Structure 1
Amino acid sequence: MFNIASILVGLLVLVLTLVGFIPLLGWLNWLTIPIGIVGIALGALSSSKAGRNLNIILVIICAIRLFVGGGLL
């Protein structure tokens, strides 16, 4: 059950991350990183690793996007 919740959180983070790749909307990644960390926590409570791995990858992508954009762009 926690894995399904983690995957659903991951899909929400994925959609918000894709919107955050639009120029001048990079600040949205500041919102998606904490949501992704909640998804990682839900995935850690599960016996399956798929949801946790999805959220880890998305948090890393958001962090790289923030680094490249200087934190705001």
Structure 2
Amino acid sequence: MGLISLLWGIVALLWMIVALIPLLGWGNWFLIPFAAVGAVIAAIGILFTHVSKRGRAWTGLVLNGIVVVVGIVRLGLGGGII
């Protein structure tokens, strides 16, 4: 679960970089739920893995959390359209 959430977070981060380009901000409407699912996967990974192997899941949770926050801020700045 940790590796899946980490890869999910990397894909979401790359998608977020593309969505920061002007006139591509509408991608945040799809990005935020995508990253939220990644955060849920990371949380499940944190719950069900051994304490010594939670690093990837925590990294995935942080990446997906950053993407969700930046996506929400970007939608707020652009009015949800641009």
TM-score (norm: length of structure 2): 0.83
Q: Which has the larger radius of gyration?
A: 2
Deviations 1:10-68 (A, max 9, x none): 11111111111111100001111011011001100113222111101110011101100
Q: Percent identity?
A: 39
Q: Which residue of 1 aligns with 2:81?
A: 72
Q: Which stretches of structure 1, 4 residues or more, deviate above 6 A after TM superposition?
A: none
- Structure richer in helix, relative to its length: 2
Q: How many residues align?
A: 72
Point out where structure 1 has 5 or more consecutive residues left out of the alignment.
none
Structure 2, unpaired ranges of 5+: 47-53
